[in-house]
Structure 1
Amino acid sequence: MCAVNDDQPDEWFRNSSSSVWGVLAIGAAVAIIVVDAITGWHPVTTAGAVLFALVAYAAFIRTKVGVSNGDFVLHHLYSTVRFPMAALESVSVGRTLGAYAGGRTYVSGAVGRSIRDAVKGAKRDHNPLRNQTDFIEDRLNALAQDARDRRRIKRDSEEQFALAEDVRRTWDWPLIGVTVIVAVVFVVLFFL
């Protein structure tokens, strides 16, 4: 199926702390490399720090959810899943984001509630003006409804389920390759 560009501007979401933690983790890895170089270079320490920085990048910086070119997009650690926004039945956010389309659930850790808010569940106040995850949940559900309205597709219709068949997963092979190479180098150096 061909994706329809609904002239919807790109919108991306992640927990506000993700970028901060990612930068801090990568900064810590760089600091370890610098300190190791100053105090007497150990290749295993450098390889471990580089591996840590790569995984921190994948987990905290790369992961996000959003809308791009009329598609719902989930950037995972090493892959990207996308399908037409109109196929999205609903989004709910607990500890992780759950997106439902075509009878399947797509999960992303890019957006999630704190343990305290997740435990409260229905007892907590739903306030998109003060709570980022409530805003993201409401915004994605509204964008999905807008996409269905533009295509004149009813929710839970055969047309919507047909759109959900257009799920595409791509892998970030360069990042996977670099991570595997650094991991192998780290393991070899560790056991030498």
Structure 2
Amino acid sequence: MASLQDDHDAVVERFQPTSGRATGWMAVVLATLVVVAGVVYVDDGFPLWVTALGLLIGILAWATMIRPALWATHEHLVMRNLAETVHIRLAAVEEMAVRQVLAVRAADRRFVSTVVGRTWRKALTSRHRPGGLADDAALAPTEGMHYADFVENRLYELVDKARSRAGLRAGSREQLALPDAVRREPAWLPIGLLAGAALFLVVSLLL
């Protein structure tokens, strides 16, 4: 039983971010420099609130631009966002599209990941495919394909396979009734860090 569970939780595809990482790391580095300067020059009158603000900005940049991740296991699409990690059963996915962000509809709810997205212009010209890819060989991933297109096609492929294994049809009553279609786990680390940094900033402004 444990081995079967491990197989289901094994990562079959880890999707790389299409934007934001470089900006996020730059923000974290600059914020770190501000915090270090605040610690080093605290006795020279360096404003405490500036140190606190730098800390908050650094944590926020990490939580919103670096921490988010997207991957798929045999059974789930996993979105790690700022405040939570969402596990969506692939067979339960009702609709999905990559526009400026990845939007997935499951269990009559909409979930968004900022990890993968298209530019505004590319999002306007891309096609939305409500169905699967089983009969659309032209949309299979090919060399030179835009990465966002590859991600969308790969996700549709994984969803189609999961539906086939479960014997489900998209939009069917059985699909909508799937148990444990979505599982959400709060991300206590970034929530706690952001709350602590915000409290530090408030206290520093009051001193």
Name the counterpart of 1:52. Answer: 57
Contact 2:107 2:181 in 1 (8 A): no
Gaps of 5+ in 1: none
Partner Cα separation in structure 1 for residue 73 and residue 56 of structure 2: 30
Deviation, structure 1 residue 43:
2.3
Partner Cα separation in structure 1 for residue 140 and residue 161 of structure 2: 21
Contact 1:86 1:145 in 2 (8 A): yes
Name the counterpart of 1:150. Answer: 165
* TM-superposition CA deviations, 1:67-122 (whole Å, max 9, x none): 13521111121111112111113320111111122333212222211122123345
Contact 2:8 2:73 in 1 (8 A): no
1:27 to 11, 15, 29: 29
Q: Give the residue type in structure 2 aligned to 1:9.
A: V
Describe the shift of the 1:114–1:191 C-alpha distance in structure 2 as closer, same or farther (beyond 3 A): farther
2:197 to 166, 182, 186: 182
Count of paired positions: 187
* TM-superposition CA deviations, 1:43-76 (whole Å, max 9, x none): 2222111111111111112212221352111112
Describe how 1:18-167 pairs up with structure 2 within 5 A: 18-37=20-39, 40=44, 41-68=46-73, 70-122=75-127, 129-163=144-178, 165-167=180-182
Partner Cα separation in structure 2 for residue 74 and residue 104 of structure 1: 14
Partner Cα separation in structure 2 for residue 65 and residue 47 of structure 1: 31
Q: Give the residue type in structure 2 aligned to 1:12.
A: R
Contact 1:8 1:70 in 2 (8 A): no
RMSD: 2.6
State the SS of the aligned residue for 2:177. helix
TM-score, with normalisation over the residues of structure 1? Answer: 0.83
- Report % sequence identity: 31
Deviation, structure 1 residue 16:
3.0
Q: Which has the larger radius of gyration?
A: 2
